Amino acid sequence: MPTSNRPHPYRRTGWQRCFDPALLVLPILLAACSGGTRPLGEDEQITRSVLELLASKGNRICLDDQTRENALSTYREMMLAPRASREQLRWYPPLPLWPGTQVQAGAFRKAELGSADLKIAEPEPRTDALDGLQQMALDSAARSLASQKIDMESVAIRAAWAPRGVTTRWWPLNRIRKDCKPLFELSNPVRGRDIAFVTVRAEHWGTLYALRKQDGKWVPQAEWSRWLY
């Protein structure tokens, strides 16, 4: 019987196999299923490092899934205070922030209506301040960055890279849910070449963390005097 030179209708030729649509789609599907493996950007690395510190003692950290505001805005304002007040501000070894008293929603209004005396616990004073040279170096870097017009970007804190013990949610949900206490808020990172600053607030307590880049990794180096807001 005569044979045909045409390929079998269900048999692909070599070039057809190379351009098989299924083979082209496979890498896309694998990338989608991997959960995204792109390396973290600088600001994401800084934010993750601060979150690792906050959760380092096993505390459950609940926070908004987006950073906001300037990390050095409070520092800049407090540097305008009278000298006597500024002399009390120091840099210390970094510790995870955890407010001493959690104020319930509406507590201030209830206290006002009932003429009650509501007090918020103040951060305990510390006696382990860093040495004078480190104080000068950190203040110099903070003042320099605070005086510059830096385009800061908000960081989307994603569950895919958030440390264990950290829960991130859309901000309206955190205001509605009762299980998100204390509620943490992180500022947009402000960074120079090898130093960065991030402000953390929780239940009327706030502090400023300084991070240094060491061997390609951002590491918390110091914590500024804590304040009430």
**Domain residue spans of the chain:** 41-119+128-228
Give the span between the Cα atoms of 132 and 62, in whole angstroms.
Answer: 35
Structure-model confidence comparison of residues 19 and 140, the more confident one: 140
Instruction: Answer whether residue 37 shows pLDDT above 80.
Output: no
Q: For 88-99, how does the pLDDT look when each residue is reduced to its tens digit (9 = 90+)?
A: 899 999 999 998
> What is the predicted pLDDT for the residue at 16?
47
Q: Which residue has the tokens 């082209």?
A: 24
Nearest to 162 by CA among 35, 73, 71: 35
Residue 203 near residue 72, CB atoms below 8 Å: no
> What is the predicted pLDDT for the residue at 221?
98
Q: What is the mean pLDDT of residues 198-206?
A: 94
> What is the predicted pLDDT for the residue at 9?
44
CA 71 to chain centre: 11
Instruction: Answer whether residue 225 shows pLDDT above 70.
Output: yes
Residue 208 near residue 189, CB atoms below 8 Å: no
